[in-house]
């Protein structure tokens, strides 16, 4: 059995995550914000288990070299966000951004971020 992947959020993707949950609470209430946080966490867990081979991952060389995206919808739960990430050499996924699916992904990607969350 292969070991799981380490998934870490860089500073800007940590802010994305917190802002998404805050906005969900404001727009839809605290219960729905909790459900949406769980949905995002399921997508992160899927990456921990299978890395870039997770079902639904798409390589996006048009955005940048080694960039992948995964839509956050999991287990029949709807979502409106993509996880934008890089797969690093030592079974590590670095989440660069968590962006709404209507956003221009390429416009919002920045490579130089410090990891905050493991």
Domain boundaries of the chain, sorted by first residue? 6-110
User: What pLDDT, in 10s, does the model give residues 42-79?
Assistant: 999 999 999 999 999 999 888 888 899 999 988 787 88
The pTM of this model reads: 0.83
Selection from 36, 104, 29 nearest residue 73 by Cα: 36
- Give the residue carrying structure tokens 């048009």: 62
- Give the residue carrying structure tokens 């219960």: 31
Determine the average pLDDT of the residues in 6-26. 95
Residue 104 has pLDDT above 70, yes or no: no
Q: State the Cα–Cα distance between residues 51 and 12, nearest whole angstrom.
A: 21
* 84's tokens: 């934008």
Q: What is the homologous superfamily of the domain 6-110 according to CATH?
A: RelE-like (3.30.2310.20)
């Amino acid at each position: 059995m292969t070991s799981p992947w380490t998934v870490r959020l860089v500073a800007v993707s940590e802010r994305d995550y917190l802002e998404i949950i805050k906005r969900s609470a404001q727009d839809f209430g605290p219960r729905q914000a909790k459900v949406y946080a769980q949905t995002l966490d399921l997508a992160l867990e899927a990456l921990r288990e299978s890395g870039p081979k997770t079902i639904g991952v798409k390589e996006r060389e048009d955005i940048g070299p080694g960039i992948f995206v995964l839509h956050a919808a999991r287990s029949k739960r709807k979502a409106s966000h993509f996880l934008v990430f890089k797969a690093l050499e030592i079974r590590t996924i670095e989440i660069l951004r968590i962006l709404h699916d209507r956003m221009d992904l390429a416009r919002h990607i920045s490579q130089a971020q410090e990891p905050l969350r493991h």
